[in-house]
């Protein structure tokens, strides 16, 4: 089962920041938080991942709370093309099946003009 909880859906105005929350209260010390997104009828696309420090790349920023029990993915200037389902995934590093990506239902983000 997925180890994360996300809202089912969110709306965001075009040009504004989209903040997508994720709860992972049972995360263990060496588990990473990964974010992927899936645009309708396409394969998921990797966005970003982190352990405990905040991370930023050309797509997004990832803010992880100090206790690591929750995180927020930030799309700084959302566009219509960012409309997708966003998946927050906790991934173990024990090797074998613990390293596999386990997807929940994600958050459907709708960016509106």
Q: Are 108 and 85 in contact (CB under 8 A)?
A: yes
Contacting residues for 99 by C-beta, under 8 A, at least 6 apart: 91, 92, 93
Strand, helix or coil at 55? Answer: strand
Which of 23, 32, 55, 61 binds other proteins (CB under 8 A)? It is: 32
| Structure tokens that stand for 33 in this block | 């938080």
Does position 53 interact with other proteins (CB under 8 A)? The reply is no
The minimum distance between CB 23 and other proteins, in angstroms, equals: 16
Does position 45 interact with other proteins (CB under 8 A)? The reply is yes
Does position 5 interact with other proteins (CB under 8 A)? The reply is no
Binding positions for other proteins, rule: CB under 8 A: 2, 30, 32, 34, 41-46, 49, 87, 91-93, 95-97, 99-106
């Amino acid at each position: 089962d997925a180890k994360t909880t996300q809202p089912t859906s969110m709306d965001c105005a075009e040009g504004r920041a989209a903040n997508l929350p994720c709860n992972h209260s049972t995360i263990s010390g060496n588990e990473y938080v990964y974010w992927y997104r899936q645009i309708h009828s396409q394969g998921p696309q990797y966005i970003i991942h982190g352990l405990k420090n905040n991370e930023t790349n050309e797509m997004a920023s990832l803010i992880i709370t100090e206790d690591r029990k929750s995180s927020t993915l930030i799309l700084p200037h959302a566009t219509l093309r960012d409309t997708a389902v966003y998946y927050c995934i906790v991934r173990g590093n024990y090797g074998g099946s613990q390293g596999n990506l386990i997807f929940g239902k994600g958050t459907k983000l709708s960016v509106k003009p």
